[in-house]
Amino acid sequence: MPDSTNNSSSARFVDGSILAGLLAAVRSHRPLVHHITNSVTINDCANITISAGAAPVMAEAPEEVAEMVSAAGALVLNIGTLSQGQVDAMLIAGRRANVLGIPVILDPVGAGATRFRTETAWRLLDSLDVAVLKGNAGEIGVLAGTGGSVRGVDSGGIAGDPVETVRECARATGTVVAMTGPVDVVAEDRRVFLVGNGNPMMDRLSGTGCMAASVTGAFAAIADDYAVSSAAALAAFGLAGERAAAGARGPYSFRTALFDELSVLTPGDLAEHARLEGPHGV
């Protein structure tokens, strides 16, 4: 891929044309994003996928997931309302996706809250070639082995430096890691990206983390650099959140506006207003 940085200042920023091209590709190709996800946010995940420009399918019956994922551009696995049958379906779909070269995005919701969730997250990471691990600070801290606090499915934070935590998780899991927070951090073995887009209102609405994973899947479906595509996806989602919050009276009007703002976000908007710094550490 072409050089994606601009060195006109001391900070390095991803070239806006790269970001614009990724969003334009999602909109033009409209990839199918197969979700095996949780029952709390499934409708929001489907609709935010549409707002991003992709097409969702929410199939989780073990009898059909291998066939369904074969038609998809990406697979999003979310362990928010976990059951053993769902784990079985995730493994079937994930293995088929790996055979076909379809990127797998794992959202380890609540990892660290219970043994079942934590062991399932590691089982999926050990059994599948995961392209992107997307989680909050507590979940990523737990999987990095550096310590993280999780209360239910909500993050209680981490004690250490966020960038180093994400880097350590990327090293431990061998995948691209995207950690959401006040500043989103995306890292792989040698590169780190920082995403400054977003609004505190996003923390007041259940499911925004799950929706972020869906948007990440939409971008991964049309990309071959999953670190850049994940950072671009989080920038687009965060920018939509900023714009939605500007006119929202509270979390529920914000929710509706979030879908609207992402759906009308243009490649030019993303190129101009993304606050995406990196790569660092090259």
Annotated binding residues for ATP? 134, 180
SS3 call for 190: coil
Q: Specify burial of residue 280 (Cβ count, 10 A radius: 0-12, 13-18, 19+).
A: middle
CB neighbour burial string for 57-94, b if at least 16 within 10 angstroms, e if fewer: ebbbebeebbebbeebbbbbbbbbebeeebbebbbbbb
Which residue type, as a one-letter code, is found at position 128?
L
| Whole-number Å distance between alpha carbons of 230 and 176 | 9
| Whole-number Å distance between alpha carbons of 214 and 217 | 5
Distances (CA, A) of 232 to 10, 135, 205, 247, 256: 21, 16, 22, 24, 22
E strand segments, the chain: 5-6, 13-14, 32-36, 55-57, 74-78, 104-107, 132-136, 149-151, 154-157, 176-180, 184-187, 192-195, 276-280
Known binding-site residues equal 58, 134, 180, 207
Q: Which residue's structure tokens are 């994922």?
A: 69
- Which residues does 126 contact at the CB level (< 8 Å), separation at least 6? none
Known binding-site residues for substrate equal 58, 207
